[in-house]
Structure 1
Amino acid sequence: MIDKQVVETIVSQYLESELPELYLVDIAVHPGNRIVVELGSDEGVGIDECVHITKHIESNLDREVEDYELEVGSAGLTSPFKVLRQYEAAIGEEVEVLCRGGVKEKGVLLSATAEAIGLQVVRRIKPEGAKRKQDVEQELSISMEEILQTKRIIKI
């Protein structure tokens, strides 16, 4: 079976030297040597970049020694975030965060670090003495350890 670390090194070095605007989101090596490489970029990943990376990987892995299937593509717009750079690219956008315990928070991503994210949410709260609930904006800090999944909310 092809080693994931070998593929990761091949891709990372190529991105660093040839396509620094792209970053590696994930690499998976499935049974039967099915290699899936997910890339990200602040401006989007084009088919030409995927072709270049595919050719580079193929030139560094020998099919005669070990056969494999290779898929190189963009991390989907609606796919869960996997790396910090995806969070950083989504600052200012609306996201949905699934936390441990099944709690979901929807709001605008304000900040992202390796430790936590900042999220601006709207809560319906009934102020004291008021007859109706009102929308109140709150800022939450959610630690990365509490986050199970984060996705962009796409509005049409």
Structure 2
Amino acid sequence: MTFKEQVSKLLNDGLLEKPEIFLIDLSISDTYKIIVTLDGDNGVSLQDCIDISRVIENNLDREEHDFALEVASVGVGSPLKLIRQYQKNVGRTLIVKTNEEKIEAQLVEANNEFIVLSWSAREPKKIGKGKETVQKRLEIPYNEIKEAVVTVNFN
């Protein structure tokens, strides 16, 4: 079993004990620096990171590989990568980039094929002068999303 396979197995074993936590990224450099990035349906606590770190660290032999280990939660403003991340952020505002446009809107649905965004827009009235507020709704398949980031609001 390679070092990466060993780390992956230990990581998966640790995540089985915490079904609300899921892996975003695992990278291992040539110098055996292990970086684990996690997210969770209800966020990731420091204790979650410590627990996953211990599962990996306590089951690897430092005599065999001198490794460094970093376990962290996904950062605020990091692009969403998994359908599960979209689903946990329903109700929040996203900035979504596709090949055609960039939209800032509320995520109202996330299923296995696409997301649904909703926002208000001011448009010219169909009859008469002036503008009116209309509610817009757009379905975007995941394969058309180049990047999606949850906006951070400090109100």
Normalised by the length of structure 2, the TM-score is 0.88
Identify if the C-alpha distance between structure 1 residues 100 and 32 changes in structure 2 by more than 3 Å, giving closer, same or farther: farther
For residues 23-76 of structure 1, the C-alpha deviation after alignment (integer angstroms, 9 at most, x for no partner) is: 112212234222111111122211111111111101222222222221101112
1:1-156 to structure 2, matched below 5 A, reads 2-3=3-4, 5-16=5-16, 18-101=17-100, 103-156=101-154
Query: Percent of aligned pairs with the same residue?
Result: 33
Provide the aligned length of Structure 1 versus Structure 2.
Answer: 153
Cα distance change on mapping 1:6 and 1:119 into 2, 3 Å? farther
**Structure 1 pair 6–123 and aligned structure 2 pair: CA distance change class (3 A):** farther
Q: Distance in 1 between matches of 2:28 and 2:128?
A: 58
Alpha-carbon distance, 1:8 to partner: 2.8
How far is 1:2 from its partner?
Answer: 3.8
Q: TM-score, normalised by structure 1?
A: 0.88
What is the alpha-carbon distance in structure 2 between the residues aligned to residue 119 and residue 26 of structure 1? 26
Amino acid at match of 1:107: A
User: 1:122 & 1:67 partners in 2: Cα distance?
Assistant: 55
The secondary structure found in structure 2 opposite 1:60 is coil
Contact 1:111 1:117 in 2 (8 A): yes
Kindly report the root-mean-square deviation, in angstroms, between the aligned alpha carbons of the 2 structures.
Answer: 1.8
Q: Tell me the SS of whatever aligns to 1:138.
A: strand
Amino acid at match of 2:143: E
- Cα displacement (A) at 1:112: 1.2
How far 1:89 sits from its partner (Å)? Answer: 0.5
Give distance in 1, aligned partners of 2:39 and 2:124.
Answer: 42
- The secondary structure found in structure 2 opposite 1:111 is strand
Unaligned runs of 5+ residues in structure 1 are none
Structure 1 residues 124 and 30: alpha-carbon distance in aligned structure 2, compared to 1, 3 A threshold: farther
In 1, distance between residues paired with 2:7 and 2:97? 31
Q: What SS does the aligned partner of 1:129 have?
A: coil
1-side partners of 2:30 and 2:136: how far apart?
46
Look up the equivalent residue of 2:94 and give its one-letter code. Answer: V
After the TM superposition, which parts of structure 1 deviate over 6 Å for at least 4 consecutive aligned residues? none
Q: Which consecutive residues of structure 2, in runs of 5 or more, have no partner in the other structure?
A: none
Distance across 2 between alignment mates of 1:30 and 1:122: 46
